Amino acid sequence: MSKRIFAKEQIASLLKNPNVARCSEKSISYANNFKARAVREWQTGISPQEIFINAGFNINMTGSETPKDCLRRWRKIFDEKGERGLKVDSRGQSKAGGRRKRNWQSDKDKIDYLEAEVAYLKAENDFLAKLRKKS
């Protein structure tokens, strides 16, 4: 992730661009139609920087590597899922779908699990307290 921070004036300027869907201090979300058009233009041999400049972006503001990085990511999605894949941003989502959800068979199972967890945490706290006393 980029370490750039956009000022309020920069955010306002970016939001005026029709190719920007959303913008915050730390990120820009691009319009879906711009992503698809950019990928198609890139496939014809136009450089990523040219595509972004022609779309009204200030490369000095967005970062010189941003066009190339975005187009690589969009091209991969476009090749795998087509244009529809560009309409859903799935960054940050694991393939497994995150932490497994617990399906309790009964309230007793849930209570037993939680009691065991409390006992474990109490033992852990006691252990840490003993370590602090030694130092």
What is the full per-residue pLDDT of the chain (135 aa) written as tens digits? 567 888 999 999 999 999 999 999 988 999 989 999 999 999 999 999 999 999 999 988 888 888 999 999 999 988 888 888 887 665 556 566 667 777 888 899 899 999 999 999 999 999 999 999 887
The number of domains in the chain is 2
Q: Do 76 and 32 share a structural domain?
A: yes
Same domain? 74 vs 46: yes
**What pTM did the predictor assign?**
0.63
46 is in which domain, residue-wise?
Answer: 8-87
User: Does 2 reside within a domain?
Assistant: no
Residues in the chain: 135
Examine the domain organization and report whether 81 and 33 are in the same domain: yes
74 in any annotated domain: yes
14 and 68 both lie in a single domain = yes
Q: Are residues 25 and 64 in the same domain?
A: yes
* CA atoms of 82 and 47, how far apart (whole Å): 21
